[in-house]
């Protein structure tokens, strides 16, 4: 009995000693955890670079496990793998191949005896994803119990720093994504940049469907509307291609309501019913909404990281839209919408198409016949005169654009149009015929103004008419001056003005060069000549048949 009691006491004593050792080990782990946690919080609070944070943390690890060297390979702020080393003596590296060690640690914990020393290593991971390797060099050969102690402490250290490392990497990942989207949207061609930025956004934010619409800040007609529809991660509708006329018409008829917040019909049309994140894109001069971004998440909702990237995408896109709108506004003064679209889809379009160059062009000068008489005897009031000028010039410019022309300028009540620029991709005959077509349509429109609803003062008055001159001549044409106006200069341009001055109301006079290009006598009346001031030879021309 006494022998059995002695054995029981020994077993109990051993168990107590084992429990005390375990408690001591747990307390040691707790102290390490607490120390690393406090230092990690300091690093976050003071926004220390990872290198400085490691200088705080790694000595604590070395002290806890009595290591001569601590080594950590993880991702730095550039998301590149970087080695961080802390040594307590002269030896500043591990006596083992580090790449091989990292590969082995990725498969499981490593304990390797090297001479009289021991290397202990393990993988750093976040939610199961590998994030690097940590290792220590102990200057003694560890027995199993000692090795277990070091493994446990190293594991505590790695578990405590992995979130810090992950937060740094996540912040860097976000910054890189934001920079990449911003760089993409800096592409000269907006559509190319937008496609690249959307690809970057898709790689970082797990969205399923997206509706994106935006327009020029001053556009009330919808001419500048852009849209992109992504469904199940695939771009299915794009305003640059307008592959589906029904979808294009649907969006153009509802886009303004969507931008104003009434997006239920559009979302229903494309089946977006789950949680969505909406971002408004405001104009630069006012709070007026010029775009809207509606996104649905594959996970049902977006986390903070996703929302931040969506907001920054919208911010970068807003600035790019502002730049795009500025370019559009400048170009749309002179060029029709299709030409503006084509120019803005071309990289370096200014150098390719808008820098001054000498080309043959069709030129038109036209003004309202008897404008002064109408203003003084019929309209009288300045407001009525202004309405006439606005109503007439707006439609005349539209006719220029509808026939492929360029609006040069308006001088008084005279409008100047040019055919050929900016692409010079039509034949000389096509350009001259387009100018003649525009002149005839302008004449018809001008004659109809006495019945125009916006000009009641003209009701019952003698019909208005226009005097027009057309020419085919060389021009030095392009962007000129501090305001970067698109215009042309040449003696031929001046002679077109002189020719227009010879025209009576309703006449469309065509210079001999244009008549020769058209080469169709049936279109013209008899030859005429006119001697004009400051020109050596008389102007030779024919009137277009009515």
pLDDT tens digits, 362-393:
999 999 998 888 888 888 888 988 999 999 99
- 281 or 481, greater pLDDT: 481
Angstrom distances, CA of residue 224 to CA of 211, 230, 427: 17, 20, 29
**Alpha-carbon distance 117 to 353, whole Å?**
73
Query: What's the pLDDT tens digit per position in 83-103?
Result: 999 999 877 778 888 888 888
- pLDDT at site 94: 83
76 within a domain of the structure (yes/no): yes
- 152 or 324, greater pLDDT: 152
181 within a domain of the structure (yes/no): no
- 7 or 35, greater pLDDT: 35
Q: Among 297, 332, 367, where does a domain finish? A: 332
Task: Looking at the structure, tell me whether residues 357 and 216 fall in a common domain.
Answer: no
First to last CA, the chain: 137
Task: Looking at the structure, tell me whether residues 133 and 196 fall in a common domain.
Answer: no
- pLDDT at site 221: 65
Query: What's the pLDDT tens digit per position in 51-65?
Result: 999 999 999 999 999
Torsion of Cα atoms, 387 then 392 then 395 then 401, to 10°: -130
**Alpha-carbon distance 389 to 464, whole Å?**
12
338 within a domain of the structure (yes/no): no
- pLDDT at site 262: 80
Task: Looking at the structure, tell me whether residues 251 and 292 fall in a common domain.
Answer: yes
Task: Looking at the structure, tell me whether residues 146 and 259 fall in a common domain.
Answer: no
* CATH code of residue 223: 3.30.450
57 within a domain of the structure (yes/no): yes
Angstrom distances, CA of residue 257 to CA of 9, 181, 220, 290: 86, 28, 12, 11
* CATH code of residue 369: 3.30.70.1230
Task: Looking at the structure, tell me whether residues 30 and 148 fall in a common domain.
Answer: yes
Task: Looking at the structure, tell me whether residues 439 and 294 fall in a common domain.
Answer: no
Beta strands in 116-225 (DSSP E): 117-126, 129-138, 207-214
179 within a domain of the structure (yes/no): no
For the segment 231-260, the average pLDDT, to the nearest whole number, is 84
For the segment 247-272, the average pLDDT, to the nearest whole number, is 83
196 within a domain of the structure (yes/no): yes
* CATH code of residue 15: 3.30.450.40
- pLDDT at site 418: 98
For residue 196, give its domain range. Answer: 186-332
Task: Looking at the structure, tell me whether residues 168 and 243 fall in a common domain.
Answer: no
Query: What's the pLDDT tens digit per position in 427-485?
Result: 999 999 999 999 999 999 999 998 898 888 888 888 899 999 999 999 999 999 888 89
**Alpha-carbon distance 376 to 200, whole Å?**
63
Task: Looking at the structure, tell me whether residues 393 and 246 fall in a common domain.
Answer: no
343 within a domain of the structure (yes/no): no
Query: What's the pLDDT tens digit per position in 297-329?
Result: 877 788 889 989 998 998 888 888 878 878 888
- Number of domains composing the chain: 3
CA 103: distance to chain centroid?
Answer: 41
Task: Looking at the structure, tell me whether residues 192 and 101 fall in a common domain.
Answer: no
Task: Looking at the structure, tell me whether residues 92 and 116 fall in a common domain.
Answer: yes
Q: Among 126, 142, 173, where does a domain finish? A: 173
Q: Among 280, 297, 332, where does a domain finish? A: 332
Query: What's the pLDDT tens digit per position in 406-424?
Result: 999 999 889 999 999 999 9
Task: Looking at the structure, tell me whether residues 154 and 192 fall in a common domain.
Answer: no
- pLDDT at site 278: 64
Task: Looking at the structure, tell me whether residues 160 and 109 fall in a common domain.
Answer: yes
- pLDDT at site 58: 95
Burial of residue 250, with CB atoms counted within 10 A of its CB: 0-12 exposed, 13-18 middle, 19 or more buried = middle
Which strands form 207-214's sheet, in the order they lie side by side?
234-238, 226-231, 207-214, 289-297, 276-282
**Alpha-carbon distance 516 to 496, whole Å?**
16
373 within a domain of the structure (yes/no): yes
């Amino acid at each position: 009995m006494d022998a059995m009691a002695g054995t029981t006491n020994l077993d109990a004593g051993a168990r107590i000693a084992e429990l005390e050792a375990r408690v001591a080990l747990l307390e040691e782990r707790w102290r390490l955890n607490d120390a690393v946690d406090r230092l990690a919080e300091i690093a976050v609070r003071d926004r220390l670079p990872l290198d400085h944070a490691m200088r705080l943390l790694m000595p604590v690890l070395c002290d806890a496990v009595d290591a001569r060297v601590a080594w950590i390979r993880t991702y730095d702020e550039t998301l590149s793998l970087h080695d961080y080393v802390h040594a307590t003596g002269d030896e500043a590296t591990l006596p083992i191949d580090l790449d091989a060690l990292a590969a082995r640690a990725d498969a499981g914990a490593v304990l390797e005896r090297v001479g009289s020393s021991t290397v202990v290593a393990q993988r750093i991971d976040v939610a199961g994803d590998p994030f690097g390797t940590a290792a220590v060099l102990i200057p003694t050969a560890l027995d199993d119990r000692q090795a277990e102690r070091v493994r446990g402490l190293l594991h505590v250290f790695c578990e405590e720093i992995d979130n810090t490392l992950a937060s740094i990497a996540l912040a860097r990942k976000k910054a890189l994504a934001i920079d990449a989207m911003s760089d993409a949207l800096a592409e000269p061609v907006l559509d190319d940049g937008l496609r690249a930025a959307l690809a970057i956004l898709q790689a970082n934010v797990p969205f399923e469907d997206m509706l994106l619409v935006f327009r020029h800040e001053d556009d009330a007609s919808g001419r500048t509307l852009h849209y992109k529809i992504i469904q199940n991660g695939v771009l299915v509708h794009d305003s640059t291609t307008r592959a589906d006329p029904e979808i294009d018409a649907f969006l153009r008829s509802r886009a303004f309501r969507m931008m104003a917040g009434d997006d239920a019909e559009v979302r229903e049309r494309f089946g977006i019913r789950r949680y969505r994140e909406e971002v408004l894109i405001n104009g630069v001069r006012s709070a007026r909404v010029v775009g809207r971004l509606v996104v649905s998440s594959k996970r049902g909702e977006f986390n903070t990281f996703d929302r931040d990237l969506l907001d920054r995408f919208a911010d970068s896109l807003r600035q790019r839209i502002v730049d795009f709108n500025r370019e559009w506004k400048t170009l749309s003064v002179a060029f029709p919408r299709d030409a503006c679209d084509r120019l803005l889809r071309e990289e370096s379009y200014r150098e390719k198409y808008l820098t001054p160059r000498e080309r043959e062009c069709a030129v038109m000068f036209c003004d309202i016949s008897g404008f002064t008489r109408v203003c003084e005897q019929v309209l009288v009031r300045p407001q009525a005169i202004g309405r006439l000028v606005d109503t007439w010039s707006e439609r005349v410019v539209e006719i220029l654009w509808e026939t492929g022309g360029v609006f040069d300028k308006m001088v008084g009540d005279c409008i100047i149009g040019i055919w050929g620029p900016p692409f010079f991709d039509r034949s000389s005959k096509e350009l001259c015929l387009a100018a003649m077509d525009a002149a005839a349509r302008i004449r018809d429109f001008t004659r109809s103004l006495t019945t125009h609803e916006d000009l009641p003062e003209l009701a019952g008055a003698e019909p208005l008419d226009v005097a027009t001159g057309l020419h085919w001549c060389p021009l030095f044409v392009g962007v000129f001056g501090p305001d970067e106006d698109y215009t042309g200069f040449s003696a031929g341009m001046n002679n077109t003005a002189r020719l227009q001055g010879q025209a009576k109301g309703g006449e469309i006079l065509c210079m001999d060069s244009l008549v020769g290009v058209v080469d169709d006598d049936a279109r013209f009346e008899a030859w005429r000549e006119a001697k004009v001031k400051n020109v050596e030879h008389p102007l030779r021309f024919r009137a277009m048949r009515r």
